[in-house]
Structure 1
Amino acid sequence: MGTAPSKLVSIITPAYNSAACVAETIACVLAQTYADWEWIVVDDASSDQTPQLIQAAADADSRIRLIRLEHNTGRAACGRNIGMAQARGEFFAFLDADDLWEPSKLQVQVDYLRDHPDVDGVCTWYDLFGYEPAVRSTLRIMNPNPLVTRRDFLVGLPMQTSTVLFRRACYDKVGPMDEDPRLVIGEDHEFFARLIMNGTLHRIREVLTHYRLSPPHGSLSAIHLLPTGVKSLNVIEIFRERGWITPAEIRFMLSRNYYSQAADNLMIHHAPFRRLLARSILAGRPPAKALIMFALCFLPAFILRPLLGSLQRLRRQATQASERAG
C-alpha cells in the first residue's frame, strides 16, 4: 500500500519588532519533520530588523514568503487575516513570531487529522518560557480532555494560538478573525469560539509548543498578563451581544475572569489582588480555587506566593500521573 500524499500546511505569522527572537522561530520552522509547508509572515511595519531577517530566510528557502505592511495596524488579527487570505494549504497553522515549536509538531498534528477525518482542528499542550524564568516552573497548560468543548471557551482561551492546526474548510466556514477594536488582544478567543461552535476540535496531550512570555513591550502578540482581564471582559461583552452565552454563563465567565486577574496579579505582577478575588466570589459560581485563595489571601504575599506555587506543582504532577496511568 502506498503512502498517502502529503498535504500543504500554511503557517501564518503576524510579526512586529521581533528581531530579538525571530531567528529562533525561523529555526524551529525549518526544523519541522513535516516538510510540505509554506510560511507566510506578515510584518506589521516593524521598525527593527524583523523584515530583513525574514527576507533573508525567504531568499534561502522558497517556502517562506514575507508580506510587508506599509503602516502599522497594531493588530495580530489583521496579519493573520491577510495570511489566511493568501494561503494555499489544506491546513492552516498559526505561529506567533516569538513562539517555538518542537520539530515534530506539524507532523503529529497532520497525522492526527488524517487518522481522524471527522475532526476539524487540533491543538497541543504548551509550556511557557521567557523574561521571567520562574514562570516556566509554575505555569503550564495541561487539560487532559482530548475534546475541546464549549465549556472550555467559557472558562477562558481554550487553546494558545501557536498550538493550533485546522482544516481550510474551517476557515471557509467561519471566516476571518474579527477585527473589532474591542478585540485588539482578544480576537483569538473569539475566533476559536466560532471554530468550537462550528466544528470539532481535539487536543493532543503532548507539549509541542513553547509560548514566550514577553515584557510589556515588544512583539505584536506578546502576552501581557495584567490586561488579560480587560481582554476577557471585552470578549464576554461581545459573546453576550451575539447571544452566544446565557446570563448564568456570563456570571460564570466573569467569576473566572476576576479570579484569573487575581492569580496573575499575585504570581506575575505582585500587584493588588484581594479586591479581584472578592469580585470573583460576588459574581457567582466562583471556582473552588478562588475560595481557597481568598481564605489564604490575608497571609503575607511572600508566604502566599510559594504556597500557591506548590499547589500548582502538585496539580500538575497529579495531571501527569493521571496521563501516564491512562
Structure 2
Amino acid sequence: MINKSIDIILPIYKPNESVFNAIDSVLNQTYTNWTLHIIDDNSKDASLQIIKQKYSNKKGVIRYYKLSENKRAAYARNFIAGKCKGDYIAFLDQDDIWLPKKLGNQISLINETSAKACHTNISFINVDDNCINIKQAEKENTFRNSINWDSISPIELTKTLFSGTHIRLVSAMVSRKAFIDIGGFDSTLFGGEDWEFWVRFANKYRIAHVPEDLIMRRISNNNTSRVYQYRRQVSKLRALGIIESKKYFDNKRLIDRQKYQICKSIIISSNKHDKVEIMRIVYQHLRSNPLRIIYNFKLVGHLLSKLINLK
C-alpha cells in the first residue's frame, strides 16, 4: 500500500461527550499515516480544553485550533485544508464514528484508480449507539452501489449527484490538491454547501466508492441539519441557483424537480415566525425561475396548507 498522508478535519462547536467517540474512532484506524485537526468554531465553553487534556498524550497526531468568531463548519474545513500539507483530506463530524478500516480501505481503492475522491456506505445510530433508520441507510447504500463509479461519465455523475445527497461528507476522502484547485466549500452557504461542492467536484474529477458500511452517522435532535433545518433549506435554494448558473448540464426537468423539492422543504420546515418570509421566498423564486405548471400548483397547495395550519 502506498503510504499516502491524510489530514483529518474535525470541526467542533459546544460538543457533548459523543466527540470522544469520534476522536477515538480516528485513533482506532488500522491505517496510521494521518494527522487529526480539531478546530473549535468559537465555542463559549471549555470543550476544547477538556479535549486537549483527555488526549494530552496524543500531541504528535492531534493538532488544535480555535476560531476567534463563529464561522460555521464549511469555513473551518477550508481553513484547515489551506494549512495542512497531506496528500488527502478526510472529514469527520463531532457526533459521528468511523469503523477501523475506513481510511485503509479508501486508500487501497484510490491507489488502484485515478480517482481524486473516495466515499463509502453508511449506517445510522442514535445517542445510545443503537442502529436506527435501517431502511433509509439500506436505500441510500443500494443507490450508491448501483452506480458504476468506475465508468460513469463526468456529466452523468454530475447529474446524479445533483439529484440528491448521494455522498455523505463524513464518509469522504478527497485529494487535497483537487480540493484546493476547485476552491473548497462555498463558506457563504449554511446549507447545501457539501451538495454544491460534490456537483462541482464531479464535473471535473473522478470519484471512487467503497461499497462497505464504514461510517456510523449519529442522528439526534442536536444535529445542525435538524436545529437549523429551515435556514439550511433556504441556503440550499441559493446553492441550487449557483449550480444552475454554472450550466454543468442541460436538463430543465431535473433542475425543476430539485427546485420543487427544496421549496417544499422550506415550506414544511417553517414556523409561525416565517410566514411572510416563506411567501416572499416562494413567490420570488417562482417569479424568477418559473417551474413546470404541475410543480407550481403543488407548491401553492403546500404553501396554503402550511399557512392555514400555522397558529
Please give the TM-score of this superposition, normalised by the length of structure 2: 0.75
Alignment correspondent of 2:76? 79
Q: Is the 8 A contact 2:122 2:214 kept in 1?
A: yes
1:106 and 2:103 matched:
yes
2:7 to 7, 10, 13: 10
Residue-pair matches, total: 264
Relative to structure 1, is the Cα distance of residues 68 and 179 closer, same or farther in structure 2, using a 3 angstrom cutoff? same
Q: Which secondary structure does the structure 2 equivalent of 1:71 belong to?
A: coil
User: Whole-Å Cα distance in 2 between the matches of residues 76 and 222 of structure 1?
Assistant: 12
Relative to structure 1, is the Cα distance of residues 211 and 127 closer, same or farther in structure 2, using a 3 angstrom cutoff? same
User: Whole-Å Cα distance in 2 between the matches of residues 239 and 105 of structure 1?
Assistant: 30
User: Whole-Å Cα distance in 1 between the matches of residues 263 and 75 of structure 2?
Assistant: 28
Which letter does structure 2 place at the counterpart of 1:188? D
1:235 to 236, 239, 243: 239
- Taking only aligned residues, the RMSD between alpha carbons, in angstroms, comes to 3.1
Which letter does structure 1 place at the counterpart of 2:254? E
Superposed, which structure 2 residues align to 1:256-295 within 5 Å? Answer: 256-257=261-262, 282-283=294-295
1:280-312 deviations in Å (ceiling 9; x for gaps)? 99229x9xxxxxxxxxxxxxxxxxxxxxxxxxx
Q: Which secondary structure does the structure 1 equivalent of 2:3 belong to?
A: coil
Q: Which secondary structure does the structure 1 equivalent of 2:187 belong to?
A: coil
Alignment correspondent of 1:121? 117
1:250 to 236, 252, 255: 255
Q: Is the 8 A contact 2:9 2:89 kept in 1?
A: yes
1:35-65 deviations in Å (ceiling 9; x for gaps)? 1100111101112342023313552111100
1:130 and 2:126 matched:
yes
User: Whole-Å Cα distance in 2 between the matches of residues 225 and 281 of structure 1?
Assistant: 30
Alignment correspondent of 1:302? none
Alignment correspondent of 1:322? none
1:207-248 deviations in Å (ceiling 9; x for gaps)? 101111231xx46x5555843543432221221233335433
Q: Which secondary structure does the structure 2 equivalent of 1:96 belong to?
A: coil
How much does 1:146 deviate?
A: 4.3
Alignment correspondent of 1:32? 29
How much does 1:260 deviate?
A: 7.0
How much does 1:201 deviate?
A: 0.6
Relative to structure 1, is the Cα distance of residues 15 and 107 closer, same or farther in structure 2, using a 3 angstrom cutoff? same
Q: Is the 8 A contact 2:234 2:266 kept in 1?
A: no
Superposed, which structure 2 residues align to 1:125-274 within 5 Å? Answer: 125-130=121-126, 135-140=132-137, 141-142=140-141, 143=143, 144=145, 145-147=147-149, 149-180=157-188, 183-215=189-221, 218=222, 221-224=224-227, 226-227=229-230, 229-246=233-250, 247-257=252-262
1:132-164 deviations in Å (ceiling 9; x for gaps)? 978523421212124271122221222111000
Which letter does structure 1 place at the counterpart of 2:95? D
Alignment correspondent of 1:66? 64
Alignment correspondent of 1:92? 89
5+ residue gaps, structure 2, are: 271-290, 299-311
How much does 1:123 deviate?
A: 0.5
How much does 1:196 deviate?
A: 0.7
How much does 1:34 deviate?
A: 0.4
Q: Which secondary structure does the structure 1 equivalent of 2:203 belong to?
A: helix
Which letter does structure 2 place at the counterpart of 1:33? T
User: Whole-Å Cα distance in 1 between the matches of residues 9 and 293 of structure 2?
Assistant: 40
User: Whole-Å Cα distance in 1 between the matches of residues 161 and 295 of structure 2?
Assistant: 18
5+ residue gaps, structure 1, are: 266-278, 287-326
How much does 1:194 deviate?
A: 1.6
Superposed, which structure 2 residues align to 1:278-317 within 5 Å? Answer: 282-283=294-295
1:171-211 deviations in Å (ceiling 9; x for gaps)? 2321221122xx21221111122211110012211110111
Q: Which secondary structure does the structure 2 equivalent of 1:139 belong to?
A: helix
Q: Is the 8 A contact 1:214 1:224 kept in 2?
A: no
Which letter does structure 1 place at the counterpart of 2:165? L
